[in-house]
Amino acid sequence: MSTLSTHVLDTSTGRPAEGLSLTLEARTEDTFRELARGVTNADGRVKDLSGANTKLAPGVYRLTFDTGAWLQARGQRGFYPSVQVLFEITATDEHYHVPLLLSPFGFSTYRGS
């Protein structure tokens, strides 16, 4: 089974996005079921969203980053109140890393290592 981590960087400041809340969900037949919640640390990371005793099976997952609240707490307004990233886990023996590059008016993501 697979593990999952994320890393959020604020590209407008060149710094980690500390204190950003996020949620991990798994797709079931016609909905998503919450699996975990996390908050980025001082380095902008959540190292193991799946938890030490929980591994992720193959399937479609969604990470939702609460970007609006994070920006508002810093006295900024943004265009995206949240960012949702859907991705698919296929290999059960790999670690999955989903970084988010964020600014008030844009974002980018990719499969990291």
For residues 45 and 5, the answer to whether their CB atoms sit within 8 Å is yes
CB count, 10 Å around CB of 102? 25
27 is in an annotated binding site: no
Rg (CA), the chain: 14
96 is in an annotated binding site: no
7 is in an annotated binding site: yes
CB count, 10 Å around CB of 70? 23
Report residue 60 as tokens. 């479609």
Report residue 94 as tokens. 């790999």
CB count, 10 Å around CB of 37? 13
Binding site for substrate, residues? Answer: 7, 45, 110
Binding site, residues? Answer: 7, 45, 110
